[in-house]
Amino acid sequence: METSIGFPIETVIVFLVLSVGAIAIDMYAHGDDKPIPLKSAALWSVFWVLISLGFAGYLRWHHGAEVASLFITGYALEKVLSVDNLFVMMAIFSWFSVPDGYRHRVLYWGIMGAIVFRLIFVAIGTSLLMLGPWVEMAFAAIVAWTAVMMLKSGGDGDAIEDYSQHLAFRSVKKLLPVWPKLHGHKFLMTQKEVDHELAQPGNEAVQVGRTGKAKFYATPLLLCLAVIELSDVMFAFDSVPAVIAVSREPLIVFSAMMFAILGLRTLYFVLEALKQYLVHLEKAVVALLFFIAGKLALNASNHLFDHGYSIDATTSLVIVLITLAIGIVASVMFPEKEDNADTASTAENKSKTTQE
């Protein structure tokens, strides 16, 4: 069944009021630099889920059960696909030695950037699908390739990468001189602030990467944010086609992705605490990606050959929820032994490469 809701002004207004209002409440509650405890993070994660379900309820009332099912399916997919990206963020924060209290701030700006890029990708992706079923086949191949890559990576997600070689890291260093130490929660420092820091005992030998004066200096938080932002852009190339497979309606796709992304900041702290217990969730994600690739291919082949086979929105939603439940239950019933890798040299390597 094809849906077509376009951009009804009332629905757009409800979407904006819910999302912007929830962001304002979240930022008011987390305006300081205090770490977010597990209990608080869990409650805020529930808050974001309820906001999303509230919008789904509105869609059901105003546009019907089919549209609501498409939204929830897209929301659930983006949410679970983002889990792997959050684990990458954990590794990035660890490498940059970002204190817990500053992580919410970095995540806020990172997610704001992610929303902008998702909007661009959704607009491009849904427009490309208008070109015909062969584009759907290409999207199916991209999603299947993502699943294969996740299978090949196995448990390598915990490995600490040298982010000093990351494109975003090197790009920022080319644009701005870098002050290699944290300066509160600031992403940029002025020349006056750098001069003041250089005058402090113990900072005489600090190198900022350039000679002469500069208007602004990047801090490690800006380098960290740049790496997270570019990593998310690369991740979006995989996740956007998967969510677009659910519906071609830009408003459904973007609203589902945005509500899922907005809850990632608090979900990050929940996953950080529960990471060792969700050992089989990635296998469920891989299974879902193969399912979505198959759904795309089936839909495309139906347009090409008119065989009459398709998977409706309700069936897709049930499969997504059951697969996620199996991954969570399996993690509880069959936990893996924790492998404690030695990462003691990470901070030292980070300090050296930041100053180079």
| 138 C-beta neighbours (distance < 10 Å), count | 16
- Specify the pTM: 0.73
Structure tokens at 188: 């940029």
- pLDDT of the residue at 15: 92
For 155-195, the pLDDT digits (tens) are 554 445 677 888 888 899 888 888 888 888 889 988 888 88
First-to-last alpha carbon distance for the chain, in angstroms, is 57
Question: Does residue 352 carry a pLDDT above 60?
Answer: no
DSSP letters along 36-99, please? --HHHHHHHHHHHHHHHHHHHHHHHHHH-HHHHHHHHHHHHHHHHHHHHHHHHHHHHHHHHT--
Residues 81 and 73 sit within 8 Å (Cβ to Cβ): no
d(CA 287, CA 274): 22
- Mean of the pLDDT values across residues 60-81? 87
pLDDT at residue 356, as a whole number: 54
Residue 122 has pLDDT above 80, yes or no: yes
Residues pairing with 218 in the sheet: 178, 188
CB 319 within 8 A of CB 136: no
Residue 203 reports pLDDT greater than 90: no
